Amino acid sequence: MYGDDIASVLITEKEIHEKIGELAKQVSDDYPERGDRDDLVLVAVLKGAVMFMTDLSRSLTVPVQMEFMAVSSYGSATSSSGVVRILKDLDRDIAGRHVLIVEDIIDSGLTLSWLLKNLQSRNPASLEVCTLLRKPDAVKVEVPVRYVGFEIPNEFVVGYGLDFAERYRDLPYIGTLDPKVYSS
Ligand code: 5GP
Ligand code: MG
Ligand code: MG
């Protein structure tokens, strides 16, 4: 699939699923089932976090509700500026709810920093972050991230939800792109 566009596989499908099992156990332990309309609310930012959210949710042993946001950040295709506009907001009020933001990757952390402020202003009972991937630059911004799947080097990665020009999201693993893809 995708010819020889993928230069190397950074994280295999098996490694992703093992890690999701570990994360799901931690999350399930931390958010016991409360019942009566008090389920944990997972918030994914479209589109990159969708694969992770759906797999994570199926590994949890507690019920969750799922919400989606779409944002556009002003910046180039491969870096973000921290200036964010909401294209699609949550469908429901999160006041008084336990909320877990599910992220594909934290790079500069600017998008997440904005999102945390925005969601915090809606007065959730709690607000935490679970990201599958984190890059080294993320330490520069003070964003509290409770659950991290993998720390990865500062390389542009695709697959398992992550795209380059809307391609490669459907790969079941995470890999790096051959430089010829950017330059063509
Ligand atoms: P941040 O605001 O943390 O710099 O950027 C977060 C967003 O930038 C991610 O949700 C993702 O859409 C994009 N991004 C950052 N690094 C990568 C990467 O290595 N590969 C891909 N495909 N997207 C990335
Ligand atoms: Mg994201
Ligand atoms: Mg993208």
ipTM: 0.95
How many domains does one find in the chain?
Answer: 1
Tell me which residues have their CB closer than 6 angstroms to ligand 1.
Answer: 48, 80, 104-112, 156-158, 162-164
Residue 162 DSSP code: B
What integer pLDDT is reported at residue 79 of this predicted model? Answer: 58
The reply to whether 171 falls in a domain is: no
The reply to whether 65 falls in a domain is: yes
Query: What is the reported pTM?
Result: 0.94
- The residues placing their C-beta within 5 Å of ligand 3, an ion, are 163
The reply to whether 6 falls in a domain is: no
For 121-148, what is each residue's pLDDT tens digit? 999 999 999 999 999 887 777 788 999 9
- Ligand with smallest separation from the Cα of 138: 1
Grouping H, G, I as helix, E, B as strand and the rest as coil, residue 2 is coil
Confidence of residue 84 (pLDDT cuts 50, 70, 90): confident
Instruction: Indicate which CATH number applies to the domain containing 104.
Output: 3.40.50.2020
Strand partners, 8: 176
Domain that holds residue 44: 12-154
The reply to whether 113 falls in a domain is: yes
